[in-house]
Chains A and B, each alone.
Chain A
Amino acid sequence: MNANYLELTGVGIEFDTGGKTPFRALQNVNLKIAEGEFVSLIGHSGCGKSTVLNIIAGLHQATEGGVILEGREVVRPGPDRAVVFQNHSLMPWLTVYDNVALAVDQVFRKSKTRAERREWIEHNLELVNMSHALHKLPAEISGGMKQRVGIARCLAMQPKVVLMDEPFGALDALTRAQLQDSLMQIQADLGNTVVMITHDVDEAVLLSDRIVMMSNGPAATIGEILTIDLPRPRDRLGLAEDPHFVHLRHQVLEFLYARHGTPTAQESAAPVGGPTPVTDVSPVAAPARQESTGSAEGGSEAA
């Protein structure tokens, strides 16, 4: 296994917003990801998670620093870094099959015959349990199904790195749990390297090998990295009671809500980026949030 499979070195980005000074979204982001590793990015809304992912994908160009994948610098988007977009991004005029076919025909135009490609498309849709709706349009299937097709399209490109931007964010707890389980299964089978953005602490702990916690923007950077050393395969029901799981989960929550405050608490806080004292957040606020996340997860656990 290559421990420096994907490397972000000193990545920073400024957006030209038309104002006098450009908006600095990221500053000095350093991260090394091993081959086959599952990494989650977590942080408050607007801190720059999508921007990091887009830089890895090559959709944004970093202002300074850069990304190296397997010893090669990333300069443009490509199918070796396939993305599962937050809102699925399926072409609404193409059927489920054709959406995946568009990607497959492009990537394997030369290396696979027509019949092989067809089989490969069907295989990938089978992987996400979408074989029953091959010829439906995206508008005719549910949100969870669309997200699954998005995942199938991404996997079908056989990317070196799978990039996922809040892939399950818009789904109900039940569907989300199902998709998390399939994703875990697929990743265990195929050994993909995955970078996933999430807002859901339980999801991050359940799926990841490491959780990268980002500080608040502007000029956001990596605040802390938490290694999740839970043995695999992981079982969501068993883990819910596991003291180590609960401890890890608590550490993430503490980072998000105590040390890096909610966006509103942060406004009154000290300069951005630096650590903010725990006392900035009222003692009640953190446990209350923790409670609400816990109960939401309770629904999915029951499933």
Chain B
Amino acid sequence: MAESVVAEAQPVMDQRFEQIMERINPQRLLKVVLPPLLGIIVFLGVWQAAAERIDTSLGQFPGPVQVWEQVENLAGEHVRAREKEAAFYERQEARNAKKLAANPDAEVKWRDYTGKPVFLDQIWTSLVTVAAGFVLANLVAIPLGIVCGLSSGIYKAVNPIIQVFKPVSPLAWLPLVTMVVSATYTSEDPMFDKSFLNSAITVALCCLWPTLINTTVGVAGIDRDLVNASRVMSLSPTLHVRKIVLPASMPMIFTGLRLSLATGWMVLIAAEMLAQNPGLGKFVWDEFQNGSSDSLGRIMVAVLAIGFIGFALDRTMLALQGRFNWDKQAVLR
């Protein structure tokens, strides 16, 4: 039994291997890898050349080399900060243990480490904030989009509002959000920072629209025959949404979600700058205020980080779309 499985598996493995070998044959490799590689090299060259010609009040504009130096600096800072944090907790532990050994009833204090957040912490904060805003927005956008797509009456009622608020910049929302949050969110022991709420809500207000619009279009555009089939079966509204509307409009909903996440990530940086939410936006702002000779290099690191993370987020959405789409043959890009 086991032998036959192996015997069957063997040709499959061989085939796989051949396929992989074929994929990395030198000629194809050249075709696949060379163009992007060339592009990157040319870009770095142009960047370096341009940087040398730009003098700012904070010194020369950083080229690729200086930026790489800052990456190393930031990594070093990260390691040192982590060491400091670990040392802090170790000291605290030792102190408290000693106290307890001397007097088992002694009141010991456990404090959290409150060092300056390092670059990775800031990236994490930004990711959490954008995720919160994104989830908040789409919890509203998807159901509302489905309702708008199903009922042209409701769509006509909501459409003017969508059209007017869609183009509004996050910077215009932020002051309003800030005031509303500080007026309404007055808990003794707040679960969230106000700055976090301000940025998350601002992000939500801006990334609501792509999902809302795409969901509406997707739901309204479902094949009439499928809708008729559902009507003949007399499916209940909830069953109709679950079995027909959602699967049929899944591709459009995901297109919306992808656009929404991209918008959210873009908006977040601006929102954090102004709301002083301790994320990437604040990092950029602080470096700008700091004005040392390294600042521009460090900001450039942040710019690249923002770009790469945005790209990674988009790829993640694409992978999710592939999993949730019923049409496994669909070409996603």
How far is it, in angstroms, between the C-alpha of A144 and the C-alpha of B244 when the chains are bound?
23
Nearest to A102 among chain B residues (CB) is B243
Q: Are B232 and A92 in contact (CB under 8 A)?
A: no
- The yes or no answer to B98 lying at the interface (CB within 8 A) is no
- The yes or no answer to B28 lying at the interface (CB within 8 A) is no
Q: Are A89 and B226 in contact (CB under 8 A)?
A: yes
How far is it, in angstroms, between the C-alpha of A57 and the C-alpha of B229 when the chains are bound?
11
Chain A positions 76 through 87: 1 when the CB is less than 8 Å from some CB of chain B, otherwise 0: 111101110101
Q: Are B228 and A83 in contact (CB under 8 A)?
A: yes
A85-B225, A91-B244 known; A57 and B232 CB under 8 Å?
yes
How far is it, in angstroms, between the C-alpha of A34 and the C-alpha of B327 when the chains are bound?
44
A91-B244, A139-B329 known; A77 and B226 CB under 8 Å?
no
* A contact patch SS: loop
- The yes or no answer to B103 lying at the interface (CB within 8 A) is no
How far is it, in angstroms, between the C-alpha of A124 and the C-alpha of B326 when the chains are bound?
25
Chain B positions 41 through 65: 1 when the CB is less than 8 Å from some CB of chain A, otherwise 0: 0000000000000000000000000
* B326: min CB distance to chain A, Å: 3
Q: Are A59 and B231 in contact (CB under 8 A)?
A: yes
Nearest to B250 among chain A residues (CB) is A93
Nearest to B246 among chain A residues (CB) is A93
How far is it, in angstroms, between the C-alpha of A63 and the C-alpha of B234 when the chains are bound?
23
- The yes or no answer to B86 lying at the interface (CB within 8 A) is no
Interface size class of A (residues with CB under 8 A): 20 to 34
* A6: min CB distance to chain B, Å: 16
- The yes or no answer to A103 lying at the interface (CB within 8 A) is yes
Chain B positions 222 through 236: 1 when the CB is less than 8 Å from some CB of chain A, otherwise 0: 010110110111110
Nearest to B225 among chain A residues (CB) is A89
Chain B positions 18 through 31: 1 when the CB is less than 8 Å from some CB of chain A, otherwise 0: 00000000000000
- Name the B residues within 8 Å of A91 (CB-CB): 226, 229, 243-244, 247
B223, B225, B231, B233: the one contacting A102 at CB < 8 Å is B233
- The yes or no answer to A157 lying at the interface (CB within 8 A) is yes
* A15: min CB distance to chain B, Å: 14
B225, B226, B232, B244: the one contacting A82 at CB < 8 Å is B232
Q: Are B232 and A59 in contact (CB under 8 A)?
A: yes
Nearest to B231 among chain A residues (CB) is A77
- Name the B residues within 8 Å of A157 (CB-CB): 233
Nearest to A150 among chain B residues (CB) is B229
- Name the B residues within 8 Å of A82 (CB-CB): 232
How far is it, in angstroms, between the C-alpha of A82 and the C-alpha of B234 when the chains are bound?
10
Chain B positions 164 through 179: 1 when the CB is less than 8 Å from some CB of chain A, otherwise 0: 0000000000000000
Q: Are B229 and A83 in contact (CB under 8 A)?
A: yes
* B contact patch SS: helix
B234, B239, B327, B329: the one contacting A78 at CB < 8 Å is B234
Q: Are B232 and A78 in contact (CB under 8 A)?
A: yes
Q: Are A87 and B244 in contact (CB under 8 A)?
A: no
Interface size class of B (residues with CB under 8 A): 10 to 19
**Which chain B residues (211-259) contact chain A, with CB distance < 8 Å?**
223, 225-226, 228-229, 231-235, 239, 243-244, 247-248
Chain B positions 299 through 329: 1 when the CB is less than 8 Å from some CB of chain A, otherwise 0: 0000000000000000000000000001101
Name the residue among A76, A81, A91, A92 with the largest chain B CB count within 10 angstroms. A91
B234, B326, B327, B329: the one contacting A77 at CB < 8 Å is B234
A77, A87, A94, A139: the one contacting B232 at CB < 8 Å is A77
A92-B326, A92-B327, A103-B233 known; A77 and B243 CB under 8 Å?
no
Q: Are A85 and B244 in contact (CB under 8 A)?
A: no
* A87: min CB distance to chain B, Å: 6
* A28: min CB distance to chain B, Å: 25
Nearest to A78 among chain B residues (CB) is B234
How far is it, in angstroms, between the C-alpha of A93 and the C-alpha of B248 when the chains are bound?
8
- Name the B residues within 8 Å of A139 (CB-CB): 327, 329
**Which chain A residues (44-102) contact chain B, with CB distance < 8 Å?**
57, 59, 76-79, 81-83, 85, 87, 89-94, 102
A93-B247, A102-B243, A139-B329 known; A87 and B225 CB under 8 Å?
yes
A91-B244, A93-B247 known; A79 and B234 CB under 8 Å?
yes
- Name the A residues within 8 Å of B327 (CB-CB): 92-93, 139
- Name the A residues within 8 Å of B223 (CB-CB): 89
How far is it, in angstroms, between the C-alpha of A78 and the C-alpha of B234 when the chains are bound?
6
Q: Are B233 and A107 in contact (CB under 8 A)?
A: yes
Q: Are B326 and A85 in contact (CB under 8 A)?
A: no
Q: Are B326 and A93 in contact (CB under 8 A)?
A: yes
Q: Are A89 and B228 in contact (CB under 8 A)?
A: yes
Q: Are A77 and B247 in contact (CB under 8 A)?
A: no
How far is it, in angstroms, between the C-alpha of A92 and the C-alpha of B329 when the chains are bound?
12
* B239: min CB distance to chain A, Å: 7
B228, B239, B247, B326: the one contacting A106 at CB < 8 Å is B239
How far is it, in angstroms, between the C-alpha of A24 and the C-alpha of B166 when the chains are bound?
41
* A221: min CB distance to chain B, Å: 24
Chain A positions 101 through 112: 1 when the CB is less than 8 Å from some CB of chain B, otherwise 0: 011001100000
B229, B233, B243, B329: the one contacting A85 at CB < 8 Å is B229
A89-B225, A89-B226, A139-B329 known; A83 and B232 CB under 8 Å?
yes
Q: Other than the known A83-B229, A92-B327, A93-B327, what 19 A-B pairs have Cβ atoms closer than 8 Å?
A: A57-B232, A77-B228, A77-B234, A78-B232, A79-B232, A79-B233, A82-B232, A85-B229, A87-B225, A89-B223, A89-B225, A90-B229, A91-B226, A92-B326, A93-B248, A102-B243, A103-B233, A106-B239, A139-B329
- In the A-B complex, the 7 residue pairs with the closest CB atoms: A93-B326, A89-B225, A93-B247, A77-B231, A89-B229, A77-B232, A103-B233
Q: 7 pairs across A/B with beta carbons < 8 Å?
A: A77-B232, A78-B234, A83-B229, A89-B223, A89-B225, A91-B226, A102-B243
Taking Cβ atoms with an 8 Å cutoff, the residues of A that contact B are 57, 59, 76-79, 81-83, 85, 87, 89-94, 102-103, 106-107, 139, 157
